[in-house]
């Protein structure tokens, strides 16, 4: 029988620091011991300490600042609670679901509009909105922030026939979010959101996402394609969101005893 394999020295250092970070002993924003200090503490070389810090950085637990050392990565986090009941509760606040959810957790949320435009429907968006070839959509491109830290890029798509002449096609922010327009019983759309379908894909960010979300190397993103359907099961909205994996906690509540409680987000 072969002897049990022992971890490499850098793995021992990384495991110790990882445990201290995850337990909260090393707090977000706190500076880690220098490479030289780690080498002395663990009776190893500076190169080994460098490798341990690199491993933690690749996991998204630390970030290195030029000339200053390595720090525990600050993590503004919001828990996205997905349930029909929670969606209606947030909608009743008169604020967008994202803002209401963030504020309920004691943080400050903001949504900034980057662009509003009418474009040809991208194929995967047109498919989800049941559109034909050459049909157009209104897209509202936004960035979401928590306490001034970017936490999400969101492109919201609406069929042009539904959005034309409404606030969805305007460049101003919409009080209460887009669903306040879609569900307004006295408004031009008058559709009630009944269910959502979400597709999640975890991948590494592309350069534009790295810059916009201020990501450090090694942090994956979650792409969420979320389609909203009305009471007649017609698709009325697709949200294409890019979400840093270290700034959100997803939680889905699936009640198998209630046909009306559908998974939801924001």
DSSP assignment of 6-21: PPPHHHHHHHHHHHHH
Query: Which CATH number applies to 9-72?
Result: 1.10.10.10
Backbone angles phi, psi at 148, to 5 degrees: 70, 5
| pLDDT mean across residues, the chain | 87
Residue 60 zone, left/alpha/beta (φ > 0; ψ -120 to 50; rest): left
- So what's the pLDDT on residue 258? 46
Q: What are 143-165's pLDDT values in tens digits?
A: 999 988 899 999 999 999 999 99
Q: What is the pLDDT of residues 173-220, one digit of tens each?
A: 998 899 999 999 999 999 999 999 999 999 999 999 999 998 877 788
- How many helices, marked H, and strands, marked E, lie in the chain? 9, 10
pLDDT tens, position by position, 63-84: 888 788 999 987 666 666 655 5
* pLDDT above 60: residue 257: no
Model pTM score: 0.74
In the chain, residues under CATH classification 1.10.10.10 are: 9-72
Confidence class of residue 5 from pLDDT cuts 50, 70 and 90?
Answer: low
CATH class, range 78-252: alpha beta
**If DSSP codes are grouped into helix, strand and coil, which group holds residue 171?**
coil
* Range(s) within the chain of domains with CATH label 3.40.1410.10: 78-252
């Amino acid at each position: 029988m072969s002897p049990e394999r022992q971890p490499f020295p850098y793995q021992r250092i990384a495991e110790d620091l990882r445990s201290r970070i995850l337990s909260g002993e090393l707090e977000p924003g706190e500076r880690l011991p220098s490479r030289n200090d780690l080498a002395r503490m663990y009776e190893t070389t500076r190169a080994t300490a460098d490798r341990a810090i690199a491993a933690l950085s690749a996991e998204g637990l630390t970030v290195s600042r030029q000339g200053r050392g390595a720090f525990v990565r600050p993590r503004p986090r919001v828990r996205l609670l997905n349930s029909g009941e929670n969606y209606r509760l947030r909608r009743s606040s008169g604020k967008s679901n994202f803002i209401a959810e963030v504020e309920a957790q004691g943080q400050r949320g903001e949504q900034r509009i980057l662009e509003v435009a009418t474009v040809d429907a991208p194929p995967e968006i047109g498919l989800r909105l049941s559109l034909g070839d050459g049909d157009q959509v209104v897209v509202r491109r936004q960035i979401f922030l928590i306490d001034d830290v970017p936490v999400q890029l969101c492109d919201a798509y609406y069929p042009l026939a539904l959005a034309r002449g409404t606030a969805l096609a305007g460049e101003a922010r919409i009080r209460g979010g887009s669903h306040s327009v879609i569900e307004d019983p006295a408004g031009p759309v008058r559709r009630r959101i009944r269910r959502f379908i979400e597709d999640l894909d975890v991948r590494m960010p592309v350069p534009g996402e790295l810059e916009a979300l201020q990501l450090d190397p090694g942090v994956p993103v979650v792409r969420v394609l979320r389609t909203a359907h009305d009471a007649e099961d017609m698709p009325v909205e697709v949200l294409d969101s890019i979400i840093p994996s270290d700034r959100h906690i997803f939680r889905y509540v699936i009640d198998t005893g209630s046909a009306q409680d559908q998974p939801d987000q924001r």
